[in-house]
């Protein structure tokens, strides 16, 4: 199926194809400015790890469609595939000056290259973009009730007989929505645990924000799409928006994307409230800009399976015995992590590249309306 074509087998391949896509756009007559923001680390093949950024069109228009991928590492493979498919579509269209499209490819190149969701410091970068006045401290309400279960201080076992039963007991005791919220919200006290938001702004996000500070000068309107996987029904994309979005804007998005829009509210759908996500940080930092921000979240497997994979991989990384990062990447938990958020199923791949293109096209038209 066509969807499979856009999926890379490694970070190096994905980054290389992104750079080629930029050249293809230039060859088609588009104005393209691209840059590699190196994070100072290397991947499994010794390749430099970079956040690749590209601007297509004209920033002078003041209107920007912002597409970002890979803030959760392994989720960058589907995100990259969508971006490559979209860029291929653009290469077949006429150049434009009435807006700009900004692509951010692999916000977390370390996680993408080494098959993790977190960065080199075990930080979940989608919990690292705090607003002004927020501090890198604290845990969600009820976190201590589940901390030891979701973060055992021991290497993982391939077959953990009682995992589902223990999870069910916690759900029955605290409620699914409450459990979902306290596990996923983000915590800032346990550096070796999952969903750790860090103790300061991380090097990669700092590089990106410095670049955006220069790039977004003079921009007054942004339509932003951040690409994710792992939440919701398999192959279905949920468009998650801030719980504080104005009701008229929410209604407008529901009309644009019927059956797909949900609020980031643990009691109203698949989502949950988040501290320090990318869009919160950007909207707070560039508060003079008119924002429309969505997280396009593609489902893969059931929530219990997603938690199981995340938990096992982090147990291996924190408590496993391995020679180096190359040795660590060979472990079954890393492969499981990759396939939980980047399934090999060709029908799933076709669905998400199709929907990624559709949502991009509609968002672009709305930006220009």
Tell whether the model's pLDDT for residue 267 goes beyond 80. no
C-beta of residue 104 within 8 angstroms of C-beta of residue 66? yes
Reported as a single tens digit per residue, the pLDDT across 58-75 is 999 999 999 999 999 999
Question: Buried b / exposed e across 291-323, counting CB within 10 Å, b at 16+?
Answer: bbbbbbbbbbbebeebbbbbbbbbbbbbebeee
* 62 domain residue, yes or no: yes
Beta-bridge partner residues of 57: 100
Question: Average pLDDT of the chain?
Answer: 95
Range from 11-20, 52-61, 167-176, 189-198 carrying the lowest mean pLDDT: 167-176
pLDDT tens profile 8-60: 999 999 999 999 999 999 999 999 999 999 999 999 999 999 999 999 999 99
Query: CA-to-CA distance for 308 and 310, rounded, in angstroms?
Result: 6
Alpha-carbon distance of 311 to 157, in angstroms, equals 11
Indicate the number of domains in the chain.
1
- Tell me the pLDDT tens digit for each residue of 281-302: 999 999 999 999 999 999 999 9
**DSSP SS3 for 295:** strand
Residue in the block written with tokens 């490559």: 84
Q: Is the pLDDT of residue 5 over 60?
A: yes
Collapsed DSSP state (helix, strand, coil) of residue 19: helix
CA pair distance 308, 196, nearest whole angstrom:
17
Angle between helix 163-174 and 303-319 (nearest 10) = 120
List the domain range (segments joined by +) for residue 68.
2-133+202-368
Q: Is 22 inside any structural domain?
A: yes
Instruction: Give the pLDDT confidence of 107-148 residue by residue, as tens digits.
Output: 999 999 999 999 999 999 999 999 999 999 999 988 988 999
The pLDDT assigned to 254 comes to 97
Q: Classify residue 344: in a domain, yes or no.
A: yes
In a domain, 96, yes or no: yes
Residue 177 maps to a domain: no
Q: What pLDDT shows up at residue 2?
A: 79
| Selected residue with higher pLDDT from 272 and 359 | 359
Neighbours of 36 (CB within 10 A): 14
Q: Please report whether residue 64 resides in a domain.
A: yes
SS (H, E, C) 116-177: CCCCCCCCCHHHCCCCCCCCCCCCCCCHHHCHHHHCCCCCCCCCCCCHHHHHHHHHHHHCHH
| Residue 341 within a domain | yes
The confidence band for 243, taking pLDDT boundaries of 50, 70 and 90, is confident
Domain CATH code at residue 345:
3.40.630.10
What 3-state DSSP class applies to 292?
Answer: strand
Residue-level pLDDT at 184: 84
Say what the pLDDT of residue 70 is: 98
Contact present, 289 and 216 (Cβ < 8 Å): yes
179: pLDDT confidence band, cut at 50, 70 and 90? Answer: confident
User: 182 or 227: whose pLDDT is higher?
Assistant: 227
The pLDDT tens digits of the residues spanning 75-116 come to: 999 999 999 999 999 999 999 999 999 999 999 999 999 999
DSSP string covering 193-253: STTB--SS--HHHHHHHHHHHHHTTT--EEEEEEEEEEEEEETPEEEEE-TT--HHHHHHH
Residue 1 scores a pLDDT above 60: no
* DSSP reduced 3-state for 42: strand
Considering the domain boundaries, does residue 182 fall inside one? no
């Amino acid at each position: 199926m066509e969807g499979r074509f856009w999926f890379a087998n490694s970070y190096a391949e994905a980054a290389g194809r992104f750079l080629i896509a930029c050249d293809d756009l230039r060859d088609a007559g588009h104005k393209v400015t691209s840059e590699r923001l190196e994070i100072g680390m290397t991947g499994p093949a010794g390749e430099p790890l970079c956040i690749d950024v590209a601007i297509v069109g004209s920033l002078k228009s003041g209107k920007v469609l912002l597409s970002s991928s890979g803030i959760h590492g392994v989720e960058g493979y589907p995100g990259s595939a969508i971006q490559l498919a979209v860029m291929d579509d653009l290469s077949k269209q006429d150049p434009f000056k009435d807006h700009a499209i900004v692509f951010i490819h692999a916000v977390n190149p370390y996680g993408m290259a080494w098959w993790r969701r977190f960065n080199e410091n075990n930080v979940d970068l989608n919990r690292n973009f705090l607003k002004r006045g927020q501090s890198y401290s604290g845990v969600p309400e009820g976190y201590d009730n589940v901390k030891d279960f979701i973060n055992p201080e021991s290497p993982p076992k391939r077959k953990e007989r009682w995992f589902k039963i223990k999870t069910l007991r916690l759900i029955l005791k605290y409620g699914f929505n409450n459990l979902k919220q306290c596990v996923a919200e983000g915590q800032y006290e346990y550096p070796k645990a999952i969903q750790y938001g860090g103790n300061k702004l991380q090097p990669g996000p700092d590089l990106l924000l410095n670049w955006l500070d220069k790039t977004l000068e003079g921009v007054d309107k942004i339509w932003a799409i951040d690409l994710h996987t792992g939440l919701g029904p398999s192959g279905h994309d949920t468009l998650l928006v801030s719980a504080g979005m104005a009701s008229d804007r929410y209604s407008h998005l529901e009309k644009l994307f019927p059956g797909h829009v949900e609020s980031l509210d643990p009691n109203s759908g698949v989502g949950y409230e988040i501290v320090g996500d990318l869009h919160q940080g950007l909207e707070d930092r560039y508060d003079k800009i008119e924002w429309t921000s969505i997280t396009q979240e593609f489902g893969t497997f059931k929530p219990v399976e997603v938690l199981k994979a995340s938990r096992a991989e982090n147990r291996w990384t924190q408590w496993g015995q391995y020679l180096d990062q190359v040795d660590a990447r060979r472990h079954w938990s890393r492969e499981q992590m990759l396939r939980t958020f980047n399934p090999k199923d060709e029908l799933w791949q076709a669905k998400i590249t199709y929907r990624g293109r559709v949502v991009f096209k509609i968002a672009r038209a709305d930006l220009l309306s």
